[in-house]
Copies of this chain bind each other. A is one copy, B any other.
Amino acid sequence: MTGRTPRVVIVGGGFGGLAAAKALRRAPVNIILIDRSNHHVFQPLLYQVATSVLAPGQIASPIRGLLADQENTSVMLGNVTGIDSASRHVIADADEKKGLRIEYDYLVLATGATHSYFGHDEFAPFAPVLKSLADAELLRNHILKAFENAEIEDDPERRQALMTFVLVGAGPTGVEMASAIAFMVQTTLRKNFRRIDPRSARIILVDMGKRPLGTFAESLSEAAKQRLLKLGVEVRLEKPVHSIDAECALVGDERIPSKTVIWTAGVAPSPAGKWLDCDVDRAGRVRVRNDLTIHHHPEIFVVGDTATLDQGGRRLPGVAQVAIQQGQYAGKSIIRQITRKPPLPPFRYFDKGDLAVVGKGFAVLQSGPIKMSGYVAWLVWALVHIQFLAESSLRISVFFQWVRTYFSGHRGDRLIIEKHGNG
């Protein structure tokens, strides 16, 4: 740092990484943002790609495009495999180059999290997760094909298994997926088949806990549950999942024949904790100090779902808002260090509130003392989510697709995209 421009490496182009990059846009630094995807995904709407409402391109933007005008930043498509914190290098594989070493003066790790099978990794082939655009496209293909197969199935039991959808995990993603599938079978698909009635599909939401949306107030969990039941979703609470295979899920002592199980439970953070060989919590999240750095490394920031930090005795939740605020904080902290100004006060999360949608025209909302459920909460949900899309053109196209889906049941992207052999 003697004379040359300090280099900031940001790993991850999600909410946290992008916020850090933008906070540094006028700083006298060279930034390299590394991500294994070429796009930033608006994860809260992934379930709408999986259920054919939105196209992948409506919730994703090329990271290069988002940062094209930020001249101090370059973007690299690469898969980080390790960190050498002694010599300050990130180690990454690109498509054709392995073991690239990228030097940093400051490092921001914003690599996110995925779902965890709680030690049952054997479920993975039969119960995919929903974390990337590729996941969402695979699930979309799978759900649409289940109805295609049901249409030509003569055996009534197999037909019902094809039309049975099990969601494991009743957090926001599970609740949103379950109600989105319910909405799809009752509207879009209704007139499209001749032999099956898509409305006879079973949608089963399973959780180990006592209530859906466990991070919300109890009254909102109850409202969400009632709404799910009204939509025809079967809710199984306090039930462990013992086994999942290609034909069925064993939930508590109930055997559910199903060709589609979707895993929306648990949190498995990225391997950043292993790269750093540092203090992690039970789920593997990096324990950061209240300035978001790790012990002995004031130059390494860990933000978003990759990190864990308590505030007021409670762990900060794994939501986009936390990642964004932490990314911004990390960026600003780096500017302070470079300009030799006094450090920022400890990071404090400002909780604007939490939202989850339960099908068409219904959401639950809590923000400070406000707790509400129903149509108004859903309007707030829709506005907030459109607002946070990364590009204005996406806001417009998502808005019009939602209006159309709301009134006509039309889905924007009901495509099974697969490679066929020739002939």
A interface list, Cβ under 8 A from B? 36-39, 55-58, 60, 62, 64-65, 68-69, 74-79, 94-97, 100, 114, 132-135, 137-138, 144-145, 148-149, 151-153, 191-195, 268, 270-271, 393, 397, 404, 410, 412-420, 422-423
Contacts and interface: CB of A to CB of B under 8 A. Distances in A.
A420 B36 contact: yes
A423 to B, nearest CB: 5
14 contacts: A37-B418, A38-B416, A39-B414, A55-B55, A57-B412, A62-B414, A62-B415, A64-B192, A74-B151, A74-B193, A76-B152, A79-B420, A95-B145, A133-B415
B417 A137 contact: yes
Given A57-B55, A152-B76, A65 B414 contact: yes
A391 to B, nearest CB: 9
Given A100-B152, A148-B38, A134 B417 contact: yes
A393 B405 CA distance: 12
Nearest to A133: B417
Contacts of A137: 417
A412 B59 CA distance: 11
Query: 7 tightest CB-CB pairs across the interface, nearest first?
Result: A57-B413, A74-B194, A77-B148, A64-B192, A134-B419, A55-B57, A62-B414
Contacts of A75: 192
Given A55-B56, A77-B416, A138-B419, 7 more contacts: A38-B414, A38-B415, A77-B149, A94-B149, A95-B145, A97-B153, A132-B420
Given A145-B95, A195-B74, A415 B56 contact: yes
A114 B419 CA distance: 13
A135 B421 CA distance: 11
Contact of A152 (B78, B133, B393, B415): B78
Given A38-B148, A114-B422, A268-B422, A68 B415 contact: no
A383 to B, nearest CB: 22
A56 B397 contact: no
Contacts of A134: 417-420
A38 to B, nearest CB: 4
A77 B148 CA distance: 6
B145 A77 contact: yes
Contact of A271 (B74, B77, B423): B423
Nearest to A144: B38
Contacts of A97: 149, 152-153
Contacts of A65: 192, 414
Q: Which of A62, A410, A417, A418 has the most CB of B within 10 A?
A: A417
Contacts of A78: 152
Contacts of A74: 151, 193-195
Contacts of A192: 62, 64-65, 68, 75
A143 to B, nearest CB: 12
A77 B77 CA distance: 37
A46 to B, nearest CB: 12
Contacts of A418: 37, 134
Contacts of A69: 191
A410 B397 contact: no
Nearest to A410: B393
A246 to B, nearest CB: 11
Nearest to A413: B57
A97 B57 CA distance: 33
